[in-house]
Amino acid sequence: MKKHNNIIDGKYSPPHSGEYFPNKNPADLDDTIGFYAKSDRIDVDKAVKAARRAYKKWKLAPASYRGKIILKAYELLIKKKEVLAEVETREMGKIFTETLGDVQEAIDTAFYMAGEGRRLFGITTPSELRNKSAYTVREPVGVAGIITPWNFPAAIPAWKIFPALICGNTVVFKPAPDTPETARLFVELLMEAGIPDGVVNLVYGFGKDAGEAMVNHPDINLISFTGSTATGSHIAEICGKTLKRCSLEMGGKNGQIILEDADLDLAVEGALWGSFATSGQRCTATSRIIIEKSILKDFTKRFLEKTKKLRLGNGMDKKTDVGPIINNSQLEKITHYVEVGIKKDKAKLLCGGKRATGGKLKKGYFFEPTIFANGHKKMTIAQEEIFGPVTLIMPVNNLDEAMDVLNSTSYGLSSSIYTKDINKALKATSYAECGIVYVNGPTIGAECHLPFGGYKNTGNGHRESGNLVLDFFTETKTIYIDYSGRLQKAQIDTN
């Protein structure tokens, strides 16, 4: 079985420890994809030094030149879309049509960010004084530490790496240990596109070793992290002590509101997709269905019928609707929350609730799509992120109660409302305490040219995607040019 080394300064670099970890297919544990470098602080330091050296030239390269390299990466991503998607499905499990969408998000992001090479707009504004100009420019921050999760192994690295590069930063990239192969192909694609040696460095490994070393390294200027709230809080604490810039994209407990005037068939399809796509392993997954009591019975019947028809299996099988859970630890976490839902919360289990082991499923980490009913906002399973194919139906009397339930968690990432009443829809978009609101659509489905992120414990205020992400990856420099030929004193000379 092939061993894969880190990629540092454009070269394949074996780990300092000499150790490698296996990457297994969560749908079939007999299928080992390869072995990957188990990196430590020595490897991270080597990568940082390479990135620091490369930064001296890369930051001076015209943004349009950087954009051309990203545009070449865009073309290569299109060419290799299916290959990347197949690898994703094999190493993280979600069905092939979904991984194609994941790679398409990376393609779209590359195209969008390549265009920023001709924009990267600053602000030009009148000075308060005569014969004086005032404007701003964007400049890179330095070496960016990129730490990504396993559930979107092409899209999320693209969300972070492409804007970091177009702004002139260099990168040390640590992917999740569950999806190192997609990361390898992604970085090799950038090398093929012409990225200079040392501009993007790939370091495999685990959070306690490579991740900690990155966050603590004094020559990494910023950290962009997507993952759990607990880990994000830990990163923020470390970065806060050294005043290191960090962007945290963390958990969600997203609710789909369904009012009595909704298109019920559409609402059912939205709930099905939002709850069980990627086996519920999305930060934007629909883990709460908040529904008016007058349509509760009808909705529940339709939703339950469709959920029971979902087919579990290998994501490359065209008949599969729902793939595996990523690993045993996550499987145990989901099982724990189902037990809490039954024993502590006293929620009514309508279907699912256990690991699926029949036939070929016994070789992987599969969990049955699970629906709880009779939910209320004080339940543990209504408050804490499960990150699996589990959703809770929560009946309410009206929109005001629905908004109260929606906003009752410590998270604020995504929400949706199904209604034909424009007044109620606009009220929901205004009152929802979250970063993303969908009307007559599920809680999943972000687009790369719009900001992505949330309120409260979902993040620390920054946004990914769109043009707002550029604010994180750049410093703003304000420039004043006085051509009056005399000393002018701002706020004093006013004539």
Catalytic positions are 249, 283
Measure the N-to-C terminal CA separation of the chain; round to a whole number of Å: 77
**Count of residues in the chain:** 495
C-alpha Rg value of the chain to the nearest Å: 24
Q: For residue 412, which of 432, 389, 439 has the smallest C-alpha distance?
A: 432
Antiparallel, parallel or unpaired: β 390-396 and 370-373:
parallel
Q: Whole-angstrom Cα distance, residue 408 to residue 393?
A: 15
Q: Whole-angstrom Cα distance, residue 426 to residue 417?
A: 10
179 half-sphere exposure, CB direction, 13 A CA radius: 30
Which value, to the nearest 10 degrees, does the dihedral of the CA atoms of residues 414, 179, 213, 197 take? Answer: -110
Beta bridge partners of 20: 37
Which sign does the torsion angle of CA 457, 460, 461, 462 carry? negative
Q: Whole-angstrom Cα distance, residue 333 to residue 319?
A: 27
